[in-house]
Amino acid sequence: MLVDADRTAVEAAASALPVGRAMAAVADVRRWNEVEQAVAAALARFGRIDWMINSAGGAEHRVLGLGATPFHAYPPEAIDWGLDVNLKGAVYFCRAVLPTMIGQKRGVIINLGSVSGLEGSASAVCYSAAKSGLIGLTKSIALCGAPHGVRACCVSPGPVLTRPGMAAMRTRLGRAATPDEVVDLILYLCSSRAAFITGSNHVIDGGRVCGGPD
């Protein structure tokens, strides 16, 4: 099941999947009741939840069109958006799926972080703080889930070509990731081959956070 606040986008994405049973649901991850309803709809349709990927997010200055507004001039709404979509939404979804995964004695949660959560960002302060927070959330959920066979991992990409503009961002390998490269890592972490991996953050960034002189 795909969940997004944008009905047109999520319905188009679900219908484009080459599997007959993909389902689209509309929910704003900042609203607990909508998150609960999305999880209930998934259970009603599929009967179980094996993997849950927290991917909704974005840098507040880009999504809200703040341009070059510095953090010290942010409107409070931008702070709320940056933290709520990127961190609170993931906390809500973890809370909402854990009872099912614990009951199943099986489940994997993947939180989509970012290298901004490791590097910091002067232009996307709340995004960066939230992405750092996802690493802590992942560790905590791993601890909550471990006695019950539930794993949690964070995947922190560098630039990914979900938008053409990401091609301009610096990496040591001289390019951005393709979306498939990030998906492959997520699929591995969700698979039984990663059965001993939990609580960890997995950077996929073409060497961007290595540091060192250029």
Ligand X SMILES: NC(=O)c1ccc[n+]([C@@H]2O[C@H](COP(=O)([O-])OP(=O)(O)OC[C@H]3O[C@@H](n4cnc5c(N)ncnc54)[C@H](O)[C@@H]3O)[C@@H](O)[C@H]2O)c1
Which residues contact ligand X by CB under 6 A? Answer: 4-6, 9, 28-30, 55-58, 85, 112, 114, 157, 159-160, 162, 166
Largest CA distance in the chain: 54
Sign of the torsion angle spanned by Cα atoms 6, 9, 10, 12: positive
**For ligand X, which residue has the nearest CB?**
57
Instruction: Output 88 or 151, the one with its CB closest to ligand X.
Output: 88
Separation CA 45–CA 118 (nearest Å): 38
> Which of 11, 50, 10 lies closest to 29 in space, CA to CA?
10
CB of 124 to ligand X, least distance (A): 9
Instruction: Output 30 or 106, the one with its CB closest to ligand X.
Output: 30
**Is residue 127 flagged as an active site residue?**
yes
- Name beta bridge partners: 51: 108
CB of 61 to ligand X, least distance (A): 13
> Which of 83, 84, 88, 101 lies closest to 142 in space, CA to CA?
101
CB of 147 to ligand X, least distance (A): 28
Instruction: Output 103 or 179, the one with its CB closest to ligand X.
Output: 179
Catalytic residues: 127
